[in-house]
């Protein structure tokens, strides 16, 4: 599969989740494991541009697909993606554990066209839990990034 | 997790051949083989050791375009089995003809899960009963004859309708309530050819065999879900009540479609989620409304009829009044829709 634009040939046990493949076999630990059962959103990545939960997908099901993780967002010169910058500008995290999942999900939320209003953002970001309850600042960050991404 | 062989067929007949060849002539079981689509239910249950298939047949490379299409013609919406929940929820024409269908999907799970989960997988999702999920508990659904830990255990989430002495697990899906209300029909293909199943016949009451959940054989793949609709199905909605406002299963929900002649009900379609062991059509409530002026008291009479047979247990008694109030509100809101 391609991960962040790079092709990986992985020989994995069929039982390996995409999340474990990314973290334990490819060494991309930015994607976090929260619940491992689809209940928290910490493991959110993009597959072929769509946000999904990597803990509920077997790696082998993603052969030939394009996976984007939080490590793949910054550009080659290390400048941050507008969503990453917006999270920093708006203080949209405390412990940071949910943050990679929030950022990937927020990018999906905007590209799906579900970030029209604050209510929409709250509804369509409900799959990402934050134990630190940084929710208001996360909404603010998404609004900022949405406007910048539209301009870009 | 038990090791499994992974297969990725590229058309429906190859998928059916794979599940038929495996069993040396005898009928295959779910321990032999299971299909996987989004994986959001099955991968979870495989990790928990609840589902233990020896072979997994991935449906995502099947090339038949109809599997991924939503087609609307002659009063029928045909959903391909691999259409994702999120896509169906966002479709303008589905929202317009049958708001009920789109709402039941929009308020289910999370955006990520809706991007992964297929419509066929959604209707076949298995219960979230905590004792079913954790393999150290007795559970007649998981291990037939072992008992039911929920009966005298924590049963706040459990069903009050359609229960048996063997099992009281709730069917948690939302979309299925819209489908049973609108008399959907499921297209199936298996080693004995194709057939159609009325949606109301797809899921089986627990009875003495809660391990048997559907009418599908292990070799049968769902290819499409057909939903007939009329002009009046525009007057329909799905109301879902839960512990938190989003990303939670229903404690009680009501799927309602109304055919109105002014203030009077010509025909009502009602299904109830979160309260029953299977997708639940509330026929007695429908009959109580036909020919009546739909006001608060008629709605309450219908709700009483819907829950007349309810059998609550220790922690889920609240579901009876909650379920009734949910239905009353759904009926009044549907009556008041501007269509
Ligand atoms: C945290 C969480 C919250 C959720 N909240 C909700 C909610 O509020 N409302 C709701 O309705 N659902 C909810 N769900 C359930 C979710 O919607 C289902 O898991 C999902 O729809 C299943 O679809 P899938 O394609 O991923 O199925 P899979 O997991 O791939 O498959 C499920 C079952 O269906 C079978 N199957 C799949 N496709 C076919 C086919 N074409 N033919 C024959 N058999 C097939 C598989 O063999 C398996 O037994 C939630 C899930 C999670 C994890
Ligand atoms: S309610 Fe059903 S699923 Fe839950 S423990 Fe009892 S038998 Fe098992
Ligand atoms: S780790 Fe995947 S949803 Fe929690
Ligand atoms: S910042 Fe701590 S969990 Fe979200």
Average pLDDT over residues A120-130: 97
Task: List, for residues B268-315, the tens digit of each pLDDT value.
Answer: 999 999 999 999 999 999 999 999 999 999 999 999 999 999 999 999
Token pair 């255990």 in the structure block, residue = B153
- Whichever domain contains B301, its CATH number is 3.30.390.50
Q: Is residue B184 part of a domain?
A: no
Q: Please tell me if the CB atom of residue A43 comes closer than 6 angstroms to any atom of ligand 3.
A: yes
Contact flag B110-A14 (C-beta cutoff 8 Å): no
Asked whether the predicted pLDDT for residue B166 surpasses 90, the reply is yes
Q: Please tell me if the CB atom of residue B88 comes closer than 6 angstroms to any atom of ligand 1.
A: no
The DSSP result for B243-280, as a single string, is SSSSSS--SEEEEEEEEEETTEEEEEEEEEESSBSS-E
Domain assignments of chain A as residue spans, ordered by start: 2-72, 82-151
Q: Please tell me if the CB atom of residue A33 comes closer than 6 angstroms to any atom of ligand 3.
A: yes
**Residue B173: phi, psi to the nearest 5?**
-65, 150
- Closest by CA position to B311, among listed B281, B273, B275: B275
Check CB contact of A149 with chain B, cutoff 8 Å. no
Task: List, for residues B148-163, the tens digit of each pLDDT value.
Answer: 999 999 999 999 999 9
- Please enumerate in sequence order all residues whose Cβ is within 8 A of that of A27, keeping only pairs 6 or more positions apart, or say none: none
Contact flag A44-B3 (C-beta cutoff 8 Å): no
Rounded to the nearest angstrom, the distance between the alpha carbon of A145 and the centre of ligand 1 is 32
Q: Give residue B22's pLDDT.
A: 66
The share of chain B scoring above pLDDT 90, in percent, equals 95
Q: Give residue B23's pLDDT.
A: 60
Residue of B nearest to A36 (CA): B44
**How far does the CA of residue B8 sit from the closest CA of chain A (Å)?**
8
Q: Please tell me if the CB atom of residue A126 comes closer than 6 angstroms to any atom of ligand 1.
A: no
Q: Whose CA is nearest to atom 17 of ligand 1?
A: B122
**How far does the CA of residue B51 sit from the closest CA of chain A (Å)?**
13
Check CB contact of A15 with chain B, cutoff 8 Å. yes
Q: Is residue B314 part of a domain?
A: yes
CA A70/CA B209 separation, integer angstroms: 46
Q: Give residue A152's pLDDT.
A: 77
Looking at chain A from residue 77 to 136, which residues have their Cβ under 8 Å from any Cβ of chain B? Answer: 105, 108-109, 112, 114, 122-128
Could you report the predicted ipTM of this complex, rounded to two decimals?
0.97
Asked whether the predicted pLDDT for residue A132 surpasses 90, the reply is yes
Contact flag B247-A61 (C-beta cutoff 8 Å): no
Q: Give residue B295's pLDDT.
A: 97
Q: Give residue B26's pLDDT.
A: 80
Task: List, for residues B28-40, the tens digit of each pLDDT value.
Answer: 888 889 999 999 9
Q: Give residue B21's pLDDT.
A: 77
Contact flag B43-A57 (C-beta cutoff 8 Å): yes
Q: Give residue A137's pLDDT.
A: 97
- The pick from B149, B157, B159, B166 for probing ligand 2's pocket by mutation, whose C-beta has the most ligand atoms within 8 angstroms, reads B149
One-letter-per-residue 3-state SS of B127-188: CCCHHHHCCCCCECCCCCCCCECCCCCCCCCCCCECCCCCCCCCCCCCHHHHHHHCCCEEEE
**How far does the CA of residue B247 sit from the closest CA of chain A (Å)?**
6
CATH superfamily of A2-72: Beta-grasp domain (3.10.20.30)
Q: Please tell me if the CB atom of residue A96 comes closer than 6 angstroms to any atom of ligand 4.
A: yes
Q: Is residue B13 part of a domain?
A: no
**How far does the CA of residue B157 sit from the closest CA of chain A (Å)?**
17
Q: Give residue B27's pLDDT.
A: 83
pLDDT category of residue A151 using cuts at 50, 70 and 90: confident
Q: Is residue B324 part of a domain?
A: yes
Q: Is B221 in a helix, a strand, or coil?
A: strand
Q: Is residue B261 part of a domain?
A: yes
CATH code for the structural domain at A82-151? 1.10.150.120
Q: Whose CA is nearest to atom 6 of ligand 2?
A: B148
Choose, out of A58, A65, A115, A122, the residue to mutate when testing the contact with B (most B CBs < 10 Å).
A58
The DSSP result for A31-85, as a single string, is S--SSSSSSS-TTEEEETTEEEEGGGSBGGGGTT-EEE-GGGSS-TT-PPPHHHH
The atom of ligand 3 lying closest to the CA of A34 is: 1
Task: List, for residues B8-28, the tens digit of each pLDDT value.
Answer: 999 999 999 999 876 667 888
The share of chain A scoring above pLDDT 90, in percent, equals 95
List the domain range (segments joined by +) for residue B263. Answer: 239-335
CA B139/CA B141 separation, integer angstroms: 5
The atom of ligand 4 lying closest to the CA of A102 is: 4
Average pLDDT over residues B70-81: 96
Task: List, for residues B115-126, the tens digit of each pLDDT value.
Answer: 999 999 999 999
Task: List, for residues B242-256, the tens digit of each pLDDT value.
Answer: 999 999 999 999 999
Please count the structural domains in chain B: 1
Q: Please tell me if the CB atom of residue B268 comes closer than 6 angstroms to any atom of ligand 1.
A: no
pTM of the full structure: 0.97
Q: Please tell me if the CB atom of residue A138 comes closer than 6 angstroms to any atom of ligand 4.
A: no
Contact flag A14-B116 (C-beta cutoff 8 Å): no
The DSSP result for A81-104, as a single string, is PHHHHHHHHTT--SS-SSHHHHHH
List of chain A residues whose C-beta atoms are within 8 Å of the C-beta of residue B36? 58, 61
Asked whether the predicted pLDDT for residue B170 surpasses 70, the reply is yes
Residue of A nearest to B59 (CA): A61
Check CB contact of A52 with chain B, cutoff 8 Å. yes
Q: Is residue B285 part of a domain?
A: yes
Check CB contact of B4 with chain A, cutoff 8 Å. yes
Average pLDDT over residues B234-239: 98
**Residue B276: phi, psi to the nearest 5?**
-130, 165
**How far does the CA of residue A128 sit from the closest CA of chain B (Å)?**
8
Mean pLDDT for chain B overall = 96
């Amino acid at each position: 599969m391609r991960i962040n634009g790079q092709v990986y040939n992985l020989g994995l046990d069929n039982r390996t989740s995409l999340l474990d493949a990314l973290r334990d076999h490819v060494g991309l630990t930015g994607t976090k494991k929260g619940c491992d059962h689809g209940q928290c959103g910490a493991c959110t990545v993009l597959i072929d541009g769509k946000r999904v939960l990597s803990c509920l997908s077997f790696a082998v099901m993603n052969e030939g697909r394009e996976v984007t993780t939080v490590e793949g967002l910054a550009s080659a010169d290390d400048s941050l993606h507008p969503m990453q910058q917006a999270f920093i500008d708006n203080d949209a995290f405390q412990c940071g554990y949910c943050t990679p999942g929030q950022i990937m999900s927020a990018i999906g939320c905007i590209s799906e066209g579900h970030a029209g209003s604050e209510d929409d953002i709250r509804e369509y970001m409900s799959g990402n839990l934050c134990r630190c309850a940084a929710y208001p600042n996360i909404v603010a960050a998404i609004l900022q990034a949405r406007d910048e991404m539209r301009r870009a | 997790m038990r090791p499994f062989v992974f297969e990725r067929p590229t058309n429906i007949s190859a998928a059916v051949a794979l599940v038929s060849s495996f069993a040396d002539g005898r009928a295959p079981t779910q321990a032999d083989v299971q299909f996987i689509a989004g994986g959001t239910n099955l991968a979870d249950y495989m990790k928990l050791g609840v589902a233990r298939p020896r072979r997994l047949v991935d449906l995502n490379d099947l090339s038949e375009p109809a599997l991924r299409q939503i087609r609307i013609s002659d009063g029928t919406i045909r959903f391909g089995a691999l259409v994702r929940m999120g896509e169906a929820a966002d479709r303008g024409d589905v929202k317009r003809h049958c708001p009920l269908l789109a709402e039941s999907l929009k308020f289910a799970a999370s955006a990520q899960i809706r991007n992964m989960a297929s419509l066929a997988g959604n209707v076949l999702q298995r219960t979230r009963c905590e004792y079913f999920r954790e393999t150290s508990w007795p559970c007649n659904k998981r291990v037939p004859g072992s008992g039911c830990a929920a009966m005298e255990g924590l049963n706040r989430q459990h069903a009050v309708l359609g229960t048996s002495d063997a099992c009281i697990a709730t069917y948690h899906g939302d979309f299925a309530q819209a489908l049973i209300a609108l008399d959907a029909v499921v297209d199936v293909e298996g080693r004995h050819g194709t057939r159609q199943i009325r949606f109301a016949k797809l899921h089986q009451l627990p009875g003495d065999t809660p391990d048997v959940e559907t009418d599908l054989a292990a070799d049968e793949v769902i290819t499409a879900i057909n939903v007939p609709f009329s002009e009046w199905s525009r007057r329909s909605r799905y109301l879902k009540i839960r512990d938190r406002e989003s990303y939670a299963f229903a404690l009680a929900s009501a799927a309602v479609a109304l055919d109105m002649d002014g203030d009077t009900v010509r025909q009502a379609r009602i299904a109830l989620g979160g309260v029953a062991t299977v997708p639940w059509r509330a026929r007695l409530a429908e009959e109580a409304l036909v020919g009546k002026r739909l006001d608060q008291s008629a709605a309450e009479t219908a709700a009483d009829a819907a829950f007349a047979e309810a059998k609550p247990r220790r922690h889920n008694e609240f579901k009876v009044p909650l379920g009734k109030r949910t239905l009353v509100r759904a009926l009044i809101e549907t009556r008041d829709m501007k269509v």
